[in-house]
Structure 1
Amino acid sequence: MKNKHLLGLVLAAGVALSTASCNKDEFLDVNNDPNRTTSIGLPALLTSNIIVTGFTVANDLGRATGVLVQHMAGAANQPAAYDVYNLRSAFDNSWNFELYGGSLINSKQMIDIATQSSSPAYAGIGKLLLAYNFAFTTDLYGDIPYSQALQGLSNLTPRFDKQEDIYKGNQAKNIQGLIDLTRDGLADLDKPSALVPTAASDPVYRGDLAKWKQMGNSLLLKLATTISKREPALAGSIINLAQAGAISTNANDFEVPFGSSVGNRNPLYEYNFVTRPDDQLLSQRLLDSMAVRNDPRLPIFFNTTQPRTATVNTTGTIVNPFGTFTGFQNGANAALPARIPVPNNTALTNRSRYNVYIRGTQGEAPVRLMTNFQRLFILAEAAQRGLPGYTAPAGATAQSLYQAAIRASMTKAGIADADVTAYFTANPRVANLPANSAQAINQIITQKWIAWVGNSYEAYNDYRRTGYPRLALVDNPAGDDPTSIPKRFPYPNTEINANSGAEGLDPSIRTNTPVWWAQ
């Protein structure tokens, strides 16, 4: 792929962090000198920022959300701790290096340099990436340094802004919200620009600003849906305006590419197949949920431990149609299954893990951040809920949008369109929404949960916002509150220690306190 040298530098640092201790004595989030990379050109900043964004979503925070939403189960080391809700003292590196010392400061520097260079094309993309990465951060942590962050030595104790203000803005406090930041980014993309991204500098859209505008409108859909429980009318109006300009084909999904060489690989591959191959595996709960629905994505998302057999039972049904999958129970205090010989790699444990669609043959699979199927699930939910101010596209219904979302997910995974139609015919309880509205929302979000395997952050947002799918507590729960799945991530110790005087910081907040938009 392009820019391998730069990508290798970016990702080699990240891979090293993923296996290092999670307790650093450095505070990098808001002490960064905002001028430290002014010598780096805009093309290099764009490339590195995109890659760090994808890396961060799939790295340690992605592993944690993966077990919390029961896509995966933790069998050892950090994933095993996250699986039973032990999240404290775990994510200093993610906060300091990947977020505030990575994607966030890079986005701000990109905006600043682009503004100085009369290049709103770069500034617009920088604002979209900044909005996405700040949304990622506040969604996990709640109140965070936002409007006063990323100012370098001029403010060593930036205020912790309320999440409501981060999303909606607060003029009295001079806070521009994420929704308006995204709109500003979209407006910049329409302005004449001295410099524009090229195919070599843009690993996602190859410099196509029209596709970046689709990404920005999809980001508005995502932000609006996230706050729709607290602000249904605002959410409905935003979704209504943004839907026509959002990603509308799988080919234009916002997904970050990775490579197969060391330092360039997808972190889901790097961790699960190179660094810690015995730590994380398919959750038995997701396996059961997909198997009972005869979901054809199961053998695409996960590998089998035994091949498919063509045995037919007395009712004419093929037994073991996809192969045998071996999951692991979330929170189980049991030894891993015994090792068995597996073709081409006898060291693999007898369990199912991510298949090549999620992690690539050698790490080259993309990290999928915003997608066409996401748009369709968002519109299906908005139509089913009847959000104020929202009108479905002409001729569309919650039912048709729901089926289109599943179809988009399945065809993206490589299932032929005709086979999706056949699946709907054979599985009407999956294909058709029930008349009861609450049950219909459950079904929409459950299918979205399945589609988001590989990006559990989005599924974690939906679960906290809706309570769907109905996830049971893990075995042997612990953490701040053993009676509930964590509702937020705890602030890193380095942040609490270095920013103890910051307005709005509540270091005593527990992981059982919902974030603002989930209340």
Structure 2
Amino acid sequence: MKFINYKRYLLIPFLLGMGACSKYLDVNVTPNNPTSVTPAVLLPGAQAGTAFSNANELNRFAEVLVQHLAGAANSPSTYDVFQTNGADFGNQWTTEIYGGALVNYQKLIELGDATDSKAYSGIAKILKAYTFSIATDVWGDIPYSQALLGEKFLTPRLDKQEDIYKGNSSQGIQSLFDLVREGIKDLDSPSALKPGADDVIYGGNLTKWKQAGNTLLLKFAMTISRKEPALATSVINEVLTGNNYITTNANDMNFTFGASVGSQDPRYTYSFVSSFQNDIILSTRYLNLLNSLNDPRLPIFFTKPGANYVTIDNGFRGTLPTPVANWSRYNKYVTGNSGEGPVRLVTNFQRAFILAEAALRLGTPGDPQALYTEGIKASMTLAGLTADQINAYLTANPTVATLSGTNEQKIAQIITQKYIAWTGNGLEAWNDYRRTGYPVLQPSQNAAGIDGTRPVRAVYINNELQQNPNFPNPAPQSNVRVWWDVD
């Protein structure tokens, strides 16, 4: 892996096409004079890189795998029959994650420390941990502790996913948990410079950043909970004791794009603007699930241009529906009115469902039923339903509203509702599916790939396999589980 030299980091937002942040970026600033760059210049482009990493091609891959969407053509149609290879995600690995968001966060940390502006360092560390989690959850073992160090490590080693999550002091590997904790601590320190409008996510509200950081700890804990239940329990209890995490939709960690061409949410651009807009369509299986649950979010999540939703089954290889203008696609809940999104990264409904599952699986404090109901209500409220509409739905649908059966059956209910709430964020739904097996998804029609199995990781990109001798040879294929995936 040959990481971008810091002399080039200002180009990252433009490579991403992130015009939404252009008001914070001076195109006349020479990239050969990085000492003149302020944290306020770097922050919005870095945040945009993380949002792009979550919502662009990796999202399409995961949304098709979890069957929110079906692939009608091009790459999504190959993902839909479980085919993926090292040519698929080079831009995501190189430009969006490592050479985009992460290199900017590293520079932000350095600038924040150098200027006694710990507010920027803290935000950067929290988002750096989140962005690294995207990479390791998708690919498994990745360059981590030796990444982002410029010419010192042109071909960094791959750290084990276990060490990335748990840390390994003998190898100088800081855990994702400790990286977030360090970021939260920085936010309590004096800061010469503080973010304002340049912080696209929270507008410089450091209290909300602390809550987001603690909620991110809950996410990481639940991710590894099947593999490391004791550690997960400890982290969740730590966060609950601190009592400073997201508890309202208003404090969700979201990134909002602009609404002009070149600055839009990639899910909007791909689905409504690009020449690839007819590559993806609502999955018949997802439609059937929400119809079976009488779920009122269906028309909020997806369009219904005519009398019926227009869908295809996953893996379908027949004649596609016509006219394409009537296809059911992401609705404004996902993409915004004109492409502003937002990309939902860490949310209140997520926190509630995590704690509900943790109470059942790990015995952490909290009433699973109350937390489950809270998660459903948070998601439905986010979708625009009123309290009366939500209560009426729960009353009329007791099999949805009430957890029942064994603990495992209750967990299946929780994850199914979380899966629905995550519509538009396939990565989070895929993470939950891999570690729990819920909701139960049937293989696609015409399933191919490795032994016809749904991918449980992405394949390392070809460039890294060719250039960095630390990558394994042969590399693990898409049917090899990542460390935390024990289901």
TM-score by length of 1: 0.86
The one-character-per-residue Cα deviations of 1:273-330 (angstroms, maximum 9, x if unpaired) are 01122100111111110011010000000011324xxxxxxxxxxxxxxxx2122111
Is residue 481–residue 511 contact of structure 1 (8 Å, CA) maintained in 2?
no
Amino acid aligned to 1:421: N
Is residue 450–residue 479 contact of structure 2 (8 Å, CA) maintained in 1?
yes
Is residue 144–residue 164 contact of structure 2 (8 Å, CA) maintained in 1?
yes
- Percent of residue pairs bearing the same amino acid type: 51
1:429 and 2:427 aligned: no
The one-character-per-residue Cα deviations of 1:217-274 (angstroms, maximum 9, x if unpaired) are 0110000000000111111121122142111100010000012101111111000101
Deviates most, 330-339 or 404-413:
330-339
Residues 152-231 of structure 1: pairs in structure 2 closer than 5 A: 152-198=150-196, 200-231=197-228
For residues 38 and 228 of structure 1, do their structure 2 counterparts lie closer, same or farther at Cα, with a shift above 3 Å needed? farther
Aligned twin of 1:127: 125
For 2:53, which of 53, 56, 70 is the aligned residue?
A: 56
For residues 498 and 148 of structure 1, do their structure 2 counterparts lie closer, same or farther at Cα, with a shift above 3 Å needed? same
Is residue 69–residue 456 contact of structure 1 (8 Å, CA) maintained in 2?
yes
Q: Secondary structure at the match of 1:161?
A: coil
Aligned twin of 1:283: 283
User: How far apart, CA to CA, are the structure 1 residues paired with 2:392 and 2:14?
Assistant: 44
Deviates most, 242-251 or 131-140:
242-251
Give the Å deviation of 1:169.
0.2
Is residue 70–residue 282 contact of structure 2 (8 Å, CA) maintained in 1?
yes
For 1:439, which of 404, 409, 424 is the aligned residue?
A: 409
For 1:364, which of 335, 340, 365 is the aligned residue?
A: 340
User: How far apart, CA to CA, are the structure 2 residues paired with 1:382 and 1:508?
Assistant: 34
The one-character-per-residue Cα deviations of 1:445-478 (angstroms, maximum 9, x if unpaired) are 0110000001110000000000111011111112
1:232 and 2:260 aligned: no
User: How far apart, CA to CA, are the structure 2 residues paired with 1:469 and 1:193?
Assistant: 45
Aligned twin of 1:377: 353
For residues 403 and 238 of structure 1, do their structure 2 counterparts lie closer, same or farther at Cα, with a shift above 3 Å needed? same
User: How far apart, CA to CA, are the structure 1 residues paired with 2:13 and 2:76?
Assistant: 21
Is residue 337–residue 349 contact of structure 1 (8 Å, CA) maintained in 2?
no
Aligned twin of 1:257: 256
Give the Å deviation of 1:155.
1.2
Give the Å deviation of 1:479.
1.8
User: How far apart, CA to CA, are the structure 2 residues paired with 1:272 and 1:9?
Assistant: 26
Give the Å deviation of 1:350.
2.7
User: How far apart, CA to CA, are the structure 1 residues paired with 2:331 and 2:432?
Assistant: 24
User: How far apart, CA to CA, are the structure 2 residues paired with 1:160 and 1:516?
Assistant: 14
1:337 and 2:317 aligned: no
Amino acid aligned to 1:250: N
Amino acid aligned to 2:187: L
For 1:100, which of 88, 98, 101 is the aligned residue?
A: 98
Give the Å deviation of 1:505.
3.1
RMSD: 1.7
Is residue 460–residue 475 contact of structure 2 (8 Å, CA) maintained in 1?
no
Give the Å deviation of 1:36.
7.5
Aligned twin of 1:461: 431
Give the Å deviation of 1:13.
3.0
Deviates most, 237-246 or 373-382:
237-246
Q: Secondary structure at the match of 2:365?
A: coil
User: How far apart, CA to CA, are the structure 2 residues paired with 1:300 and 1:12?
Assistant: 32
For residues 121 and 50 of structure 1, do their structure 2 counterparts lie closer, same or farther at Cα, with a shift above 3 Å needed? same
Aligned twin of 1:23: none
Q: Secondary structure at the match of 1:255?
A: strand
Aligned twin of 1:512: 479
User: How far apart, CA to CA, are the structure 1 residues paired with 2:255 and 2:344?
Assistant: 6
Give the Å deviation of 1:37.
4.2
User: How far apart, CA to CA, are the structure 2 residues paired with 1:48 and 1:12?
Assistant: 9
Amino acid aligned to 1:487: V
Runs of 4+ more than 2 Å apart = 8-16, 34-40, 504-508
Q: Secondary structure at the match of 2:345?
A: strand
**How many aligned residue pairs are there?**
461
Give the Å deviation of 1:9.
8.2
Give the Å deviation of 1:380.
0.5
The one-character-per-residue Cα deviations of 1:137-157 (angstroms, maximum 9, x if unpaired) are 000000000001111112111
Give the Å deviation of 1:12.
5.8
User: How far apart, CA to CA, are the structure 2 residues paired with 1:168 and 1:376?
Assistant: 24
Give the Å deviation of 1:165.
0.2
Structure whose residues are more often helix by fraction: 2
User: How far apart, CA to CA, are the structure 2 residues paired with 1:75 and 1:362?
Assistant: 23
Q: Secondary structure at the match of 2:330?
A: coil
1:391 and 2:365 aligned: yes
User: How far apart, CA to CA, are the structure 2 residues paired with 1:161 and 1:422?
Assistant: 50
Give the Å deviation of 1:351.
1.8
Give the Å deviation of 1:195.
1.0
Give the Å deviation of 1:15.
5.3
Is residue 124–residue 187 contact of structure 1 (8 Å, CA) maintained in 2?
yes
Is residue 17–residue 263 contact of structure 2 (8 Å, CA) maintained in 1?
no
User: How far apart, CA to CA, are the structure 2 residues paired with 1:188 and 1:439?
Assistant: 41
Give the Å deviation of 1:435.
2.5
User: How far apart, CA to CA, are the structure 2 residues paired with 1:359 and 1:12?
Assistant: 21
Aligned twin of 1:298: 298
Deviates most, 47-56 or 218-227:
47-56
TM-score by length of 2: 0.92
For residues 506 and 431 of structure 1, do their structure 2 counterparts lie closer, same or farther at Cα, with a shift above 3 Å needed? farther
For residues 380 and 516 of structure 1, do their structure 2 counterparts lie closer, same or farther at Cα, with a shift above 3 Å needed? same
Amino acid aligned to 2:226: K
Give the Å deviation of 1:335.
2.0
Amino acid aligned to 1:518: D
Q: Which runs of 5+ in 1 are unaligned?
A: 1-7, 17-33, 308-323, 340-347
Q: Which runs of 5+ in 2 are unaligned?
A: 1-9, 19-30
Aligned twin of 2:15: 13
Amino acid aligned to 1:217: N
Is residue 11–residue 264 contact of structure 1 (8 Å, CA) maintained in 2?
no
User: How far apart, CA to CA, are the structure 2 residues paired with 1:475 and 1:184?
Assistant: 47
Aligned twin of 1:494: 463
